[in-house]
C-alpha cells in the first residue's frame, strides 16, 4: 500500500491473478481494465490511482467477486509478494510483536519514501482496547481500501508471528486533516496462538511467575516473568542522584535539532542549530505556526492531531530560513505528560548530497550519533541504483515492444511467404533445406478462366482490367481458405487450384467440387467493365497423379507437373460458360457424395481423343444453370451407381477412347 502510486502494485495484482487463476484469466482481466502490459507495469514508474482502481475493478468484474473480497485477498498476497521480493528481513525485524510491528509501519513508509518519491502512504496507530485487544487506527486519503488492511494484518500474524488474527471493523469516519479528507477506520484485533487463547497487548500484570512465549520474527523464545523489587528492575535509577539535571544549554547542544512547545503551541525551547537558521527565533514569544510547518503527516498543526499520529515520523519545515530552500527536519514527537509539553527530536531530512549543498548544510553540522550521515551517503548510492534499475526497466520494456514488433513483422512476412509457397515447403526453404520433388498418386486440379476476356481487355483500360481481376480473385482467395484447397497460381484470367498437394489426402475431389460451385456464384457478383453485366467463367476439373516441386532460385515457384495438369486445362478449355466441366476420374471420386451431375455426350478432347465427360451442377440442390443446350438434361446423383460404366485407371482402351489417363467402358 505504501507504493500504491508505483507500478509495483500493478505487478502484485498481475502475479496474484496468474498464480491463482492462470495466464488466460489475467489476459482477460488486462483487456477489461484497458491497461497496457508494456506501459502500466514498470516497477519504478508512477501511475494515477485511477489506473490502479481500474485494474482492481476489472479483477472483481472478471472473477465475479465483491470488490471488498478482492482487496482483502490482495492485502494477504501483498505480504507474500514483499517477503519474496527482498523485503523479508526488513519486515521480520520491524517489531518483536504485532503491536510494535504496526507502530513502526509509518517509520518504514518514511524510509521507503527516500527511494519512492511523492508517495502518499497511509498511517497506523495502536492503542489498547477495554478488553486488552488491539485497536488499530488506520488513516488514508484513499477511501474504501480498508479491506486491504484486514488481509494484510491476517497475513502478518500468520506468516511473521505464527498467530491467527481475528479482525473486525469497529467504526469508520471521515476527518478533515491538513486540508484533506481522510478515511479513519478503527479495527479490533485479537490474536490467537497455539499456546494460549488470547494475546494481550497490555503486558503482564500479575505477581505470580508466568511463562510467556513471545512470537517474534526470529522465532519463539521463552521468558519467565518473576515478581521483583521495582528498584532492582532499574539499577540505573537507584544510582542516579535525585537532583541530576541537564541545563538548557547542555540539552540544546546534545540535541541541536529539537523543539519543545506547550499545549497552546508556544515554542519554549529550540536546539542551537535551529536558532541559527532564522532571526525569527529571537522573538520573546513564538508560535509554532510562525516558524514551522508540518509536511508529514498531512494535517493541521494542533496537539490533538499530533497525538493521533504520535507514532508517525514527522517532517517539519523551518520557515523563513536564511537559505533559498527551507530546511526540513525529520524526527519524532514525544508527549511529556508530567509537564504537558510536546518535544520534537529530529535532524535535517537530507536524502542526497545535492540537498546538502542547496541547504548550505555540512555533514559536520549533524551530530555524530545521528545516522543521517550514513543515510545520506547510502541513499546517494541507492538513488543511483534506482536510476539504473528504472532505465533498465524502461529499456527492457522497449526491447519487449521491439521484440513484439519484430514478431509481428515476422508473422506478416511468413504469411506473405505462405501465400506464395506451401507452408511446409516455405519452412524447408527458410531452414536452408533442399526441397525435393514429390509424387502424389491422386490429386484434384481445377482451372478457370473468364469468358471473352480478350474482348473485354481490348475494350477497357488496363486499370479497369486490374480492378476487375482483383475483385474476382479476392473472392476466389477467400474461398480457398473456406474449402481448404491450395491456390497454385494465376496467369492472366486463368486461376488454378489443387487439393491433395502439398498435404496428401484421400478426400481431395469434394473440396474442389464445392469450391467450383461457390466460385461460379461469386463470379456472377463481379461485373464486366465493358458491359456492366456479370462476367461468366469456365471451370474444368480433373483428378489424377502429379509431381510437385520448387522451380527456380530467384522468386522460386511451387509447380505441378504431369499429364493431369494438361487434362485439367483441357477440361476448362472444352467447357462452357457458367458450367463446371469434370473428367471421368473426378466423377468417379465424387460418386461417394451427394453431388448432382449431368452427363455430357462423348466428345473429342484435344490431345486426349474421345472422352465421356460430365457437368457438375450442384450438391444436394442444383445451382442456377446457364440457358444452353444442357439445361434440360437429366440430373444424376453421384451416389447412385450408373450401370454399364466402368473406369479403369492407368490403362487406355484404344477402341473406346484415346485418353492416356483413364478409360470409360
Residue ending a domain, choose from 334, 361, 388: 361
Give which of 136, 188, 138 is closest to 167, Cα–Cα: 188
Whether residues 376 and 471 share a domain: the answer is no
**309 in the same domain as 435:** no
Cβ proximity of 596 and 635 under 8 Å: yes
Give the model confidence (pLDDT) of 328-368 as tens digits. Answer: 888 899 999 889 999 999 988 877 777 777 777 777 777 87
State the Cα–Cα distance between residues 499 and 425, nearest whole angstrom: 16
Give residue 178's pLDDT. 61
Per-residue model confidence as pLDDT tens digits over 365-417: 778 777 776 666 666 666 676 777 778 877 888 888 888 889 888 888 888 88
- For residue 484, the number of C-alpha atoms closer than 13 Å in the C-beta half-sphere is 9
350 with 492, same domain: the answer is: no
Domain of residue 262, CATH code: 3.30.450.260
Residues spanned by the domain of 648: 431-664
Q: Looking at the structure, do residues 384 and 291 belong to the same domain, yes or no?
A: no
Number of domains in the chain: 4
Angstrom distance (rounded) from CA 7 to CA 13: 10
CB contact at 8 A, 140 and 49 = no
pLDDT classification of 203: cutoffs 50, 70, 90: very low
For the four alpha carbons of 44, 49, 53 and 54, in that order, the dihedral sign comes to negative
Please indicate, yes or no, whether residues 330 and 447 belong to a single structural domain of this protein.
no
Cα atoms in the Cβ-side hemisphere of radius 13 Å centred on 102? 27
Here the CATH number for the domain that contains residue 193 is 3.90.1520.10
- Structure confidence by residue, pLDDT tens digits, 142-194: 888 999 999 999 999 999 988 888 999 999 998 877 667 889 999 999 877 64
Residues 394 and 503 grouped into a single domain: no
b/e code 636-660 from CB counts within 10 Å (16+ = b): bebeeeeeeeeeeeeeeeeebbebb
DSSP annotation of 266: B
Nearest-angstrom CA–CA distance, 245 and 247: 6
Name the pLDDT band for 197 (thresholds 50, 70, 90): very low
* Any domain includes 45: no
Q: Judge whether 648 lies within some domain.
A: yes
How far the first Cα of the chain sits from its last, in Å, is 87
Residues 381 and 340 both lie in one domain: no
Q: Which residues, in sequence order, are bridge partners of residue 6?
A: 46
259 assigned to some structural domain: yes
Exposure of 63 by Cβ count < 10 A (0-12 exposed, 13-18 middle, 19+ buried)?
middle
Q: Do residue 384 and residue 438 come from a single domain?
A: no
- In the prediction, which pLDDT does 321 show? 59
Asked which of 164, 198, 232 is the last residue of a domain, the reply is: 198
Residue 17 domain flag: no
Region of residue 219 (left: phi > 0; alpha: psi -120 to 50; beta: else): left
174's CB contacts (< 8 A; 6+ apart) are 143, 181, 182, 183, 184
Segment 85-141, tens digit of pLDDT: 888 888 888 888 888 898 888 778 877 776 677 778 888 888 888 888 889 999 888
Inform me whether the pLDDT recorded for 449 exceeds 90. yes
Alpha helices for 421-506 (secondary structure H): 423-430, 453-459, 462-483
For the chain, what percentages of helix, strand and coil (3-state, to nearest 5) are there? 40, 25, 35
Residue 460 sits in the same domain as residue 576? yes
Amino acid at each position: 500500500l505504501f507504493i500504491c502510486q508505483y507500478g509495483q502494485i500493478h505487478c502484485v495484482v498481475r502475479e496474484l491473478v496468474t498464480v491463482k487463476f492462470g495466464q488466460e484469466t489475467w489476459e482477460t482481466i488486462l483487456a477489461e481494465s484497458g491497461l497496457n502490459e508494456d506501459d502500466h507495469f514498470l516497477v519504478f514508474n508512477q501511475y494515477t490511482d485511477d489506473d490502479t482502481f481500474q485494474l482492481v475493478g476489472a479483477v472483481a468484474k472478471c472473477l465475479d467477486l465483491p470488490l471488498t473480497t478482492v482487496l482483502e485477498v490482495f492485502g494477504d498476497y501483498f505480504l507474500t509478494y514483499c517477503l519474496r521480493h527482498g523485503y523479508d528481513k526488513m519486515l521480520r525485524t520491524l517489531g518483536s510483536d504485532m503491536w510494535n510491528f504496526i507502530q513502526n509501519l509509518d517509520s518504514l513508509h518514511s524510509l521507503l519514501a527516500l527511494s519512492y518519491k511523492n508517495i502518499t502512504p497511509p498511517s497506523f496507530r495502536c492503542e489498547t482496547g477495554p478488553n486488552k485487544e488491539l485497536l488499530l487506527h488506520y488513516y488514508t486519503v484513499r477511501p474504501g481500501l480498508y479491506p486491504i488492511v484486514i488481509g494484510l494484518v491476517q497475513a502478518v500474524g500468520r506468516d511473521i508471528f505464527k498467530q491467527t488474527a481475528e479482525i473486525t471493523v469497529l467504526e469508520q469516519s471521515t476527518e478533515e486533516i491538513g486540508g484533506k479528507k481522510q478515511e479513519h477506520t478503527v479495527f479490533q484485533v485479537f490474536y490467537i496462538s497455539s499456546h494460549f487463547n488470547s494475546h494481550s497487548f497490555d503486558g503482564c500484570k500479575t505477581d505470580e511467575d508466568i511463562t510467556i512465549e513471545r512470537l517474534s520474527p526470529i522465532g519463539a523464545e521463552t521468558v519467565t516473568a518473576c515478581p521483583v523489587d521495582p528498584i532492582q528492575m532499574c539499577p540505573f535509577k537507584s544510582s542516579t542522584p535525585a537532583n541530576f539535571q541537564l541545563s538548557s544549554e547542555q540539552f540544546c547542544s546534545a540535541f541541536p535539532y529539537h523543539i519543545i512547545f506547550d499545549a497552546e503551541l508556544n515554542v519554549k525551547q529550540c536546539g542551537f542549530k535551529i536558532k541559527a537558521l532564522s532571526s525569527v527565533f529571537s522573538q520573546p514569544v513564538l508560535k509554532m505556526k510562525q516558524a514551522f510547518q508540518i509536511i508529514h503527516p498531512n494535517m493541521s498543526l494542533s496537539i490533538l492531531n499530533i497525538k493521533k499520529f504520535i507514532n508517525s515520523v514527522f517532517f517539519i519545515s523551518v520557515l523563513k530560513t536564511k537559505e533559498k530552500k527551507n530546511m526540513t527536519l525529520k524526527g519524532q514527537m514525544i508527549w511529556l505528560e508530567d509537564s504537558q509539553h510536546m518535544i520534537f527530536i529530529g535532524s535535517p531530512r537530507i536524502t542526497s548530497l545535492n540537498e546538502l549543498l542547496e541547504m548550505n548544510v555540512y555533514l559536520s553540522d549533524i551530530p555524530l550519533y545521528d545516522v543521517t550521515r550514513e543515510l545520506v551517503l547510502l541513499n546517494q548510492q541507492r538513488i543511483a541504483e534506482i536510476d539504473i534499475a528504472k532505465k533498465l526497466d524502461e529499456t527492457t520494456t522497449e526491447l519487449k515492444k521491439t521484440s513484439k514488433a519484430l514478431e509481428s513483422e515476422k508473422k506478416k512476412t511468413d504469411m506473405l511467404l505462405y501465400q506464395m509457397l506451401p507452408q511446409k515447403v516455405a519452412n524447408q526453404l527458410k531452414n536452408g533445406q533442399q526441397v525435393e520433388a514429390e509424387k502424389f498418386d491422386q490429386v484434384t486440379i481445377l482451372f478457370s478462366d473468364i469468358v471473352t476476356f480478350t474482348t473485354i481487355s481490348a475494350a477497357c483500360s488496363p486499370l479497369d482490367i486490374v480492378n476487375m481481376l482483383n475483385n474476382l480473385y479476392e473472392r476466389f482467395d477467400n474461398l480457398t481458405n473456406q474449402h481448404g484447397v491450395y491456390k497454385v497460381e494465376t496467369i492472366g484470367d486463368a486461376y488454378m487450384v489443387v487439393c491433395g498437394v502439398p498435404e496428401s489426402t484421400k478426400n481431395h475431389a469434394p473440396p474442389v467440387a464445392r469450391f467450383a460451385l461457390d466460385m461460379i456464384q461469386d463470379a456472377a457478383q463481379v461485373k464486366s467493365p465493358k458491359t456492366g453485366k456479370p462476367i461468366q467463367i469456365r471451370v474444368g476439373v480433373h483428378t489424377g497423379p502429379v509431381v510437385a516441386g520448387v522451380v527456380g532460385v530467384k522468386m522460386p515457384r511451387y509447380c505441378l507437373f504431369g499429364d493431369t495438369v494438361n487434362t485439367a486445362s483441357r477440361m476448362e478449355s472444352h467447357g462452357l460458360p457458367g458450367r463446371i466441366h469434370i473428367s471421368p476420374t473426378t466423377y468417379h471420386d465424387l460418386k461417394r457424395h451427394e453431388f448432382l451431375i449431368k452427363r455430357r455426350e462423348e466428345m473429342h478432347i484435344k490431345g486426349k481423343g474421345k472422352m465421356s465427360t460430365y457437368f457438375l451442377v450442384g450438391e444436394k440442390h442444383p445451382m442456377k444453370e446457364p440457358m444452353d443446350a444442357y439445361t434440360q438434361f437429366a440430373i444424376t446423383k453421384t451416389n447412385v451407381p450408373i450401370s454399364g460404366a466402368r473406369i479403369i485407371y492407368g490403362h487406355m482402351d484404344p477402341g473406346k477412347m484415346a485418353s492416356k489417363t483413364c478409360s470409360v467402358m
